[in-house]
């Protein structure tokens, strides 16, 4: 009797986290039909409850099912952004899997791209501290394979942001990101998967937060 051994294809799962606001956003997918996401308004309890919510969310899958982690790297609130990035880095290190750090503004642009069929540039602005503005401009790839960064996340005065937009020679769509950002966790996951498909495998240590206005801008204090 001959026993035929079938090659079992490993299913890829990706997990994304969005913690740049008082809300916690989690999303998980195998990218072949199974996707789930949820948002919780945890406020000040984010740091103490995020691990329990995450453990419950990934079921029935387990940690070993994950092929990569994606996280919103900011801009956003300092504490929440730091919590998400540190957690993503820790998981990436312990599981030995890539960690994709995705701009909060890029996720907003990608979400907007999903609502429209045109490929015009998308300018995203978000309120920052001290009356300033976080701004960035993206151009969707014609083949829907991601976003081209025309202007990376930058802190502007309202006047300099308006001047930047006025000096553009092409048409663009302006999106004001003011609420509901944690719901963009699915866009974080989708953008990370597009990079995965392109063969990118960023090491967990490359995942750094973007604080913009914080005195320790882009410096991650490592724990553990």
Number of domains in the chain: 2
Convert the pLDDT of each residue in 43-88 to its tens digit: 999 999 999 999 999 999 999 999 999 999 999 999 999 999 999 9
Query: Of 59, 173, 163, 85, which is closest to residue 122 (Cα–Cα)?
Result: 173
pLDDT of residue 7: 39
pLDDT of residue 10: 67
- Is 73 in contact with 42 (CB distance < 8 Å)? no
- Is 106 in contact with 147 (CB distance < 8 Å)? yes
Residues 42, 97, single domain; the answer is: yes
Q: At 49, which CATH number?
A: 3.30.420.40
pLDDT of residue 57: 97
Question: Peptide bond preceding 52: is omega within 30 degrees of 0, i.e. cis?
Answer: no
Residues 100, 36, single domain; the answer is: yes
Residues 71, 87, single domain; the answer is: yes
Q: How far apart are CA 80 and CA 121, in angstroms?
A: 29
Whether 6 is covered by a domain: the verdict is no
Q: How confident is the model at residue 2 (pLDDT cuts 50, 70, 90)?
A: very low
Convert the pLDDT of each residue in 140-179 to its tens digit: 998 888 999 999 999 999 999 999 999 998 889 999 998 8
Mean pLDDT of 109-131: 89
pLDDT of residue 28: 98
Mean pLDDT of 206-213: 91
Q: How confident is the model at residue 214 (pLDDT cuts 50, 70, 90)?
A: low
Residues 28, 55, single domain; the answer is: yes
Q: How confident is the model at residue 6 (pLDDT cuts 50, 70, 90)?
A: very low
Q: How far apart are CA 86 and CA 88, in angstroms?
A: 5
Residues 47, 97, single domain; the answer is: yes
- DSSP assignment letter at 224: -
- Domain extent, residue 167, equals 116-176
CB burial readout 2-28, b (16+ within 10 A) else e: eeeeeeeeeeebbbbbbbbbbbbbbbb
Q: How confident is the model at residue 5 (pLDDT cuts 50, 70, 90)?
A: very low
Residue 8 has pLDDT above 60, yes or no: no
Mean pLDDT of 117-134: 91
E strand map for 35-120 = 35-41, 66-72, 99-102
Residues 134, 88, single domain; the answer is: no
Q: At 164, which CATH number?
A: 3.30.420.200
């Amino acid at each position: 009797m001959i026993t035929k051994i079938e090659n079992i294809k490993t299913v890829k799962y990706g997990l994304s986290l969005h913690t740049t606001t008082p809300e916690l956003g989690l999303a998980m997918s195998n990218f072949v039909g199974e996707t789930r996401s949820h948002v919780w308004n945890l406020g000040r309890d984010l740091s103490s409850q995020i691990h329990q919510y995450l453990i419950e969310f990934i079921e029935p899958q387990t940690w070993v099912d994950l092929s990569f982690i994606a996280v919103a790297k900011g801009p956003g609130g300092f504490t929440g952004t730091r919590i998400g990035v540190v957690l993503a880095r820790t998981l990436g290190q312990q599981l030995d899997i890539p960690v994709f750090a995705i701009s909060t503004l890029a996720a907003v642009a990608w979400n907007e791209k999903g609502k429209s069929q045109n490929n015009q540039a998308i300018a995203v602005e978000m309120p920052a501290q001290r009356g300033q503005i976080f701004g960035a401009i993206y151009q969707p790839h014609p083949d829907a394979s991601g976003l081209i960064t025309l202007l990376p996340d930058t802190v502007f005065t309202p006047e300099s942001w308006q001047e930047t937009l006025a000096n553009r020679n092409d048409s663009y769509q302006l999106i004001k990101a003011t609420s509901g950002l944690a719901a963009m966790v699915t866009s974080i996951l989708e953008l990370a998967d597009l990079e995965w498909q392109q063969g990118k495998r960023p090491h967990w240590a490359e995942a750094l937060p973007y604080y913009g206005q914080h005195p320790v801008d882009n410096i991650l204090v490592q724990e553990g």
